[in-house]
Amino acid sequence: MATNVNAQLHSLTNLITTSVHDIISVYASVGQTVPSLDSLEPGPFDGAVEDVPERLKANGHAEPSALLVVTQARIADLLVDKPEGLHVDQLAEASGFKDADKLGRLMRLLASRHVFREVKPNVYVNNRLSAKFISKYPMCDIVGLQTDEGMRATAYLYETYTTEPRVPNETPLQRAYGVPLFDWYNLPENKDKGERFNRAMVALGDVYGKGFLAKSYPWGEFSGECTICDIAGGNGHVTMRLLKKHPQFKVVLQDQAEVIEQAKEYWAKEHPQALADKRVEFVPFNFLENVAVAGCDVYYMKSILHDWPDAECRVILQNVRKAMKPGARLVIHEIAIHSPARFAQRAEERAPEPLLPNWGASAARTYEADIRMMKMFNAKERTLEELTTLWHVQFSNFEPFGLKFRGLYPAGEMDLVEFVAV
């Protein structure tokens, strides 16, 4: 199989190279060069492919809609241990889908994207990509959140930001559902959606790399014990991983009271030794209302600020800063957005030309996350400059009690942005 895949990759390389030569030759035959994407002038062959890129983009809603259907219907589960595959009639009957023809058309769309494989007309098997959508895997929760609540909110982006808000700080999602997200989750009929959201948040953390905190930050600078306050850390699975690597450290986990109760059960199951050694402490709090536990060496915040507009971020930061002793560190674990403009990139981070300097489509997930924060919370993923200036706006009048930017540590698709209390 490996040899076959290697051969396929070589064939793909040859196809790309040959196609590039063909394109250059065709343009040369009419005395022109291939037009640049930066140019506004029409190319000689634009009429032959009129609006194709625009149509491809405009129809981009179809694929996530199909993913929502197959994950909710548990199609990948039905194909487990079915190497010969199942016909769409069987899949529709087993999943409760009312129309086998419509299910088959959705399946064919996904198979064209290498999600599932059509082995005979209307007969499908799992492949490496569709296997990720078996319900025991967290990808189902991520897909459900983003293609259900997320897609509905997307449909209201334009109306929300071009008309008068019906309530202050109205989000596109709030316009879609009539209430803020978490109020909607608290409705009895949406209990399962709220549970899916919580699972998706843990799963997204794993996608972006929960292990990066332990290996990307210079923990060796702490020669002995170190107390880390995990601000709104959920069940604490990220700092648990850190504690397993550095058992001499201590974690103070802070979150809402009901979350803390769940976290206690999680640690009792996953790391009982930390409880026995009193290396973890559970302290309920609300970061918009309460000051964090005082005197810790490091205050760690993962994927918190991106959920909130600037004003609320400053309240959160103030409640953390009040707890920090001189020299204590604040580590913000977030996506640091980069501009596609070449002048905006640090030289060591730029992609080689002719790629966009921010690596273009390969980095699209970070920009999609930014839009997700916009439509659900009126919040954002921030640039490094925006992260570092959040604090200065709030504390410009009393610099001695502020924070000083100390460094940035790449951590996969996210970054660890470090400040020190001065």
Classify residue 58 by its DSSP letter. Answer: H
**Pure H helices in 271-354:** 272-276, 310-321
Asked if residues 171 and 378 have their Cβ atoms less than 8 Å apart, the reply is yes
Whole-angstrom CA distances from 401 to 41, 69, 387, 389 are 55, 53, 18, 15
Classify residue 188 by its DSSP letter. Answer: G
Cα gap 155→175, rounded to integer Å = 10
- Kindly calculate the radius of gyration of the chain based on its CA atoms and give it in whole angstroms: 25
Cα gap 315→64, rounded to integer Å = 36
Residue 77 structure tokens: 């589960």
Asked if residues 331 and 299 have their Cβ atoms less than 8 Å apart, the reply is yes
Instruction: Indicate the helix (H) or strand (E) that contains 229.
Output: strand 227-231
Cα gap 205→303, rounded to integer Å = 8
Cα gap 95→77, rounded to integer Å = 10
Q: Report the relative pairing of strands 336-337 and 382-383 from DSSP bridges.
A: parallel
Per the annotation, the verdict on 338 as an active-site residue is: no
CA angle 384/387/391 to nearest 5° reads: 140
Cα–chain center distance at 265: 26
Q: Centre a 10 Å sphere on the Cβ of residue 131 and count the other Cβ atoms it contains.
A: 15
Asked if residues 299 and 213 have their Cβ atoms less than 8 Å apart, the reply is no
Identify residue 130 by its one-letter amino acid code.
S
Identify residue 91 by its one-letter amino acid code.
L
Asked if residues 63 and 113 have their Cβ atoms less than 8 Å apart, the reply is yes
CB proximity list for 139: less than 8 A, separation 6 or greater: 132, 133, 203
Q: Of 306, 333, 338, 392, which residue is the catalytic one?
A: 306
- φ and ψ at 380, to 5 degrees? -165, 155
Residues with catalytic annotation?
306
